[in-house]
A and B are shown apart, each in its own frame.
Chain A
Amino acid sequence: MATWTWFHRLGSPPHVFAFARRWTPWFGGFAAVTMVIALYGGLVLAPADYQQKDAFRMVYVHAPTAWLSLMIYTTMAVAAAVGLIWRMKVAHAAAAACAPIGAWFTVAALGTGMLWGKPMWGAYWVWDPRLTAELVLLFLYLGYMGLRAGIEDPGKADKASAVLAVVGVVNVPIIKFSVDWWNSLHQTATVMQMGKPKMDGDMLWPLLLMFVAFALYFVAILLIRLRAELLRRERNASWIREVLA
């Protein structure tokens, strides 16, 4: 069963702690480099949109944060499911570490969306399916964190919140496809679609690179939070003393 050893090692807090400590600077460094390149590409090199002029450049922050708000929720739910099924403590710790990051990305997506909506739609907020669904996602994150905080026994909090995370997954496809299912002000998918993206190459590559940068940034923050989470949970374990010595 040699192929499965990597999976079993993921269940060991000292191993994951060491892994997170080793890789955090790499992910953070690459995130910084790609973000600078993508920003230059998006704000300087990319041409202005024929209709939205320079205001379209908001997409370079808005779209990646919105994608990530969903991706992080999915990551959290998968980690929670792994924790429930294989009773892996590290997986529960990872899910717990995901929630606040995801909530902030959702806030960022909503905030940048509002700033973009004002010049384009003439209003900061409209009750549009995509916006409403994203707001619901924020409430899901808050509910998840509230539930964790509300249950004193850590083992019980892990499992109960994991059930919630898995149940909440039904919301992810609703948000993803809301703009296609309902007529909405929000523009439909322009990048993630079958066939060729409906976007010019000069505009597209900074967007994709920005997405990569934000994803790397997420992983870096996740690894830091995961380390903190492991330290808190395993504070009585002997390996902590060896690692911190």
Chain B
Amino acid sequence: MKTGSLEAARLVAVRDLRLAFRKPSQLIQPLMFFLIVATLFPLTLTPEMSRLRDAAPGVLWVGALLSSLLALEFLFRDDAVDGTLEQFALSGQSLTWMLFAKTCTHWLLTGLPLALSAPVAALMLGVPAGSMGGVVASLALGSFALSLLGAIGAGITLGARRGGVLLSLLTLPLAVPILIFGARATELAIGGGDIAPPMYLLGAIAVLGLTLAPLAAAAAVRIGLE
């Protein structure tokens, strides 16, 4: 009996989760990086809480973006080096679905923990405790969109030397709309405003990424494997 695409995707997700928990240091690194970036701003900008609070959306989002770029390195590279991706491509299963599962798992392991740990960084930046819900929600949705977008970049740079720097150069310009609407949502959440409008736009970007990014990533990975 042939295994269905969804079943294959589920198996890939389970495999990635199991592998990740065997090597927890890889998960903790981007989180540590995010928190370190957030601590650097009070040291360099000003220790004054009111000014830090104004800068908080920017600090949180730049930190989240940089740490998600750091984490993207691990999305396909290890599996490309040891030949797993090649086996995926040859398996006769839909590569799109398998990469989609990998991307979602990647977000579960990096983006979601980042969003959940954001209140720690936000508290250090003087963000009131009452607005944490909006901060976490905007970062969770935004980091999901970033993961989907990053999957394309990670796929494209598979064949390149010095993939890391290139990956940032390719992903950052395309990530600008996510950054703008995400930071806007966080800013509104901190200021006590209605975060729905930027969240809808962020959601629209995520849905667009959800439908198109896995296809583009699969095409890019196939090219990288040739």
Q: Which residues of A contact B (CB under 8 A)?
A: 132, 136-137, 139-140, 142-143, 146-147, 150-153, 155-157, 159-161, 163-164, 166-168, 170-171, 174
The reply to whether B220 and A139 contact each other, CB–CB distance below 8 Å, is no
In the complex, chain A residues whose CB is within 8 Å of the CB of B220: 160, 163
The reply to whether B157 and A150 contact each other, CB–CB distance below 8 Å, is yes
In the complex, chain A residues whose CB is within 8 Å of the CB of B219: 163
In the complex, chain A residues whose CB is within 8 Å of the CB of B226: 155-156, 159
Closest to B168 in A: A143
The reply to whether A150 and B176 contact each other, CB–CB distance below 8 Å, is no
Q: Which of B133-161 contact A (CB under 8 A)?
A: 152, 155-161
Choose from A146, A160, A166, A171 the contact partner of B159 (Cβ within 8 Å).
Answer: A160
How many pairs of A and B residues are in contact by the CB < 8 Å rule?
Answer: 69
Choose from B156, B161, B224 the contact partner of A164 (Cβ within 8 Å).
Answer: B156
> Is chain B's interface secondary structure helix, strand, loop, or mixed overall?
helix
In the complex, chain B residues whose CB is within 8 Å of the CB of A143: 166, 169-170, 173
Choose from B159, B163, B176 the contact partner of A153 (Cβ within 8 Å).
Answer: B159
Nearest CB on A from B216, distance (A): 6
Q: Which of A139, A156, A163 has the most CB of B within 10 A?
A: A163
The reply to whether B173 and A160 contact each other, CB–CB distance below 8 Å, is no
Q: What are 13 residue pairs bridging A and B, where the CB atoms are less than 8 Å apart in the complex? A: A136-B173, A139-B169, A143-B166, A143-B170, A143-B173, A146-B166, A147-B166, A150-B157, A156-B226, A160-B156, A161-B156, A170-B174, A171-B173
Question: 13 additional contacts, CB 8 Å, given A139-B169, A163-B152?
Answer: A143-B166, A146-B170, A147-B170, A150-B157, A156-B159, A159-B226, A161-B156, A163-B219, A163-B220, A163-B223, A167-B174, A167-B216, A174-B177
The reply to whether A168 and B176 contact each other, CB–CB distance below 8 Å, is no
A112 to B72, CA, bound (A): 37
Nearest CB on B from A39, distance (A): 33
Q: Which residues of B contact A (CB under 8 A)?
A: 152, 155-163, 166, 169-170, 172-174, 176-177, 216, 219-220, 223-224, 226
A171 to B174, CA, bound (A): 8
In the complex, chain B residues whose CB is within 8 Å of the CB of A170: 174
The reply to whether A152 and B161 contact each other, CB–CB distance below 8 Å, is yes
Nearest CB on A from B76, distance (A): 13
The reply to whether A150 and B161 contact each other, CB–CB distance below 8 Å, is yes
Q: Which of A139, A152, A157, A167 has the most CB of B within 10 A?
A: A167
Closest to A137 in B: B173
A140 to B172, CA, bound (A): 9
The reply to whether A150 and B223 contact each other, CB–CB distance below 8 Å, is no
The reply to whether A146 and B169 contact each other, CB–CB distance below 8 Å, is yes
Choose from B161, B162, B173 the contact partner of A168 (Cβ within 8 Å).
Answer: B173
A143 to B173, CA, bound (A): 9
Cβ-closest 5 pairs across A and B: A150-B160, A139-B173, A159-B223, A143-B170, A143-B169
The reply to whether A163 and B156 contact each other, CB–CB distance below 8 Å, is yes
Closest to A132 in B: B176
The reply to whether A150 and B166 contact each other, CB–CB distance below 8 Å, is yes
In the complex, chain B residues whose CB is within 8 Å of the CB of A142: 169
Nearest CB on B from A86, distance (A): 15
The reply to whether B216 and A163 contact each other, CB–CB distance below 8 Å, is yes
The reply to whether B174 and A168 contact each other, CB–CB distance below 8 Å, is yes
In the complex, chain B residues whose CB is within 8 Å of the CB of A139: 169, 172-173
The reply to whether A156 and B224 contact each other, CB–CB distance below 8 Å, is yes
Closest to A164 in B: B156
The reply to whether B174 and A156 contact each other, CB–CB distance below 8 Å, is no
Closest to A163 in B: B220
In the complex, chain A residues whose CB is within 8 Å of the CB of B166: 143, 146-147, 150
Nearest CB on B from A239, distance (A): 26
Q: Which of A137, A142, A155, A156 has the most CB of B within 10 A?
A: A156
A13 to B160, CA, bound (A): 27
